[in-house]
A and B are shown apart, each in its own frame.
Chain A
């Protein structure tokens, strides 16, 4: 298992390298000038200053050279500096990532708490009114544009019930400092209600469909009949014998999902002005903040590949028939 993991991690390296080259190319192809970003909009700096800034940012070198220098810095743990925010990229990512993670984890947990029992019950009562209702419900969940759902929630719920429309904290409170940790907790909790609802709705839809479909697959298997013939309670038959098999694909999906908890939902974070990685990325794109875009994109790609690895590992953990070997 360990050997397999190490081997997979090693094969990741060339893939990540190629991806970083592609991303580098895209970022450099973006119109606009980093020097302008650095000097700030409307700056009347002389040609002389501009040249100096160019040199300072390493923009006077050829593209391959710039890439190699970037790679060299990354290898030493330096992700570069955001020209717009004038802060090290690692510091920016390090602070915003937890906002994203918090949102995603909360939504995932809530989604799973509902999706698993609902999906199982749907499969047990396949074709019933209960099944049909939740099938339609989760179909809506995968079909609705997240931002549209968010807008509708803001329009009908937030505006009418006085929930905060956007952000993670109240501007007044956070700038003057919270009186207590409890106050801070409540503030963030109130701000989370809508974004978590939107995210959880989507995940619920995905997971409940998954649970239902894999339960439907196993529920008529011979071994479920055997379990009944043993005299087990129906609950044990369903939740132990059937679900233990149905959860194999589910756990695989979860493994894939976990790394993505760190990568931001760009659109959702934009709608709710949530200070997460997705928001950072879109701002960086709008401001041509090269180092920040590079770091965010490569980071997301690595998470994606890790997700694949983790899902394979999870698969071998829950299914005794699968043995990974080096």
Chain B
């Protein structure tokens, strides 16, 4: 897997929402890398900045939010010089529009409200094709029908003329996926794509996404708060807490050997992973308000192993194993090989 090409590198991403009370730091110094053909899961509690991170990749953060200067979202998929990449944080509107829906596409949490109620699903898919490729309407329609078939919709040639309100939530999400894949994107961002759906439909959609990943060679960034979903489909996991990634590891490694106290806490609070008969563990306290982020480690207030240094400084990346890094002073102190983020990428 490590031989795969990188397609997206996020460095020091800061997204602040300028409110009357001050800057709300939804994402504060986030960093991670995505590889081709890989499903990367981003896990974390609600409000930890998962969705905002995803939105900022497509430049969809709207007022009063701002991607702060110095943030880097380097897209290295299908650009002229892959080595340099295109910094989406500073790209022009036109560059962004070329990427959106074409190179990187996105599906959202609420399939029913994410489709425009006054256009047929066909029109919405066809629109996505015709704005990025110069194809005739008929050809685009043929492709749309084909896509609807591929995402497991039966009778696609009649469903294509339906309005979203005539379809179920699961069907709508399939339509969203078909639309997202219509221009063979390099990267598909799925923001909690199954949260609003029934459990049985959830499994179907996840399986479908994995199949399509294999078929189209699309990388998937899956945003979720559900570790069960992560275990089911992800290759690699980023655990986010209060605006930044605190641990990153291949999925098997993470479940076997979680390092960050927050990751450990998450694992223990999950019913299926906790030992039977044992009470579910609870992470004490609440997520810090993004308006008042602490100076040191953001998790310090809730951490069972908190040390004085945790309140003073931000921890650096510590390598645990191949592609397994943790940002925590517990492991820095143990003097495990320590390196800069840049070296991690190399």
Contacts and interface: CB of A to CB of B under 8 A. Distances in A.
Interface of A: 221-223, 225-234, 241, 244-245, 248, 318-321
Contacts of A244: 116, 118-119
Contact of B163 (A232, A234, A321): A321
Contact of A231 (B99, B114, B115, B118): B99
Contacts of A229: 58, 60, 100-101, 105-106
Contacts of B163: 320-321
A129 B185 CA distance: 40
Interface in B89-137: 93, 96-102, 105-106, 108, 110, 113-119, 127-128, 131-132
Nearest to A230: B101
A229 B110 CA distance: 15
Given A231-B132, A232-B131, A320 B118 contact: yes
Contacts of A241: 116, 119
B32 interface: no
Nearest to B113: A222
B255 interface: no
A225 B108 contact: yes
User: Closest 4 CB pairs between A and B?
Assistant: A231-B100, A230-B101, A231-B101, A223-B116
Contacts of B132: 231
Interface in B61-112: 93, 96-102, 105-106, 108, 110
Given A231-B131, A321-B163, A321-B165, A226 B97 contact: no
A230 B110 contact: no
Contacts of B116: 223, 226-227, 241, 244-245
Nearest to A319: B118
B113 to A, nearest CB: 4
A232 B124 CA distance: 11
B60 A228 contact: yes
Contacts of B96: 231
Contact of B97 (A222, A232, A248, A321): A232
Contact of A221 (B58, B99, B113): B113
Interface in B223-243: none
B165 A320 contact: yes
Nearest to B118: A244
Contacts of B165: 320-321
A214 to B, nearest CB: 13
Given A223-B114, A245-B116, 20 more contacts: A223-B116, A223-B117, A226-B108, A229-B58, A229-B105, A230-B128, A230-B131, A231-B96, A231-B97, A231-B100, A231-B102, A231-B131, A231-B132, A233-B97, A244-B118, A244-B119, A245-B117, A320-B165, A321-B117, A321-B163
Residue among A221, A223, A234, A244 with the highest chain B CB neighbour number at 10 A: A223
A72 B131 CA distance: 64
Nearest to B111: A222
Contacts of A321: 117, 163, 165
Nearest to A241: B116
Contacts of A223: 113-117
A223 B117 CA distance: 8
A121 to B, nearest CB: 15
Nearest to B120: A320
Contacts of A222: 108, 110, 113-114
Interface string B171-182: 000001001000
5 contacts: A222-B108, A223-B113, A232-B127, A233-B97, A320-B117
Given A320-B163, A321-B165, A230 B117 contact: no
A227 B131 CA distance: 11
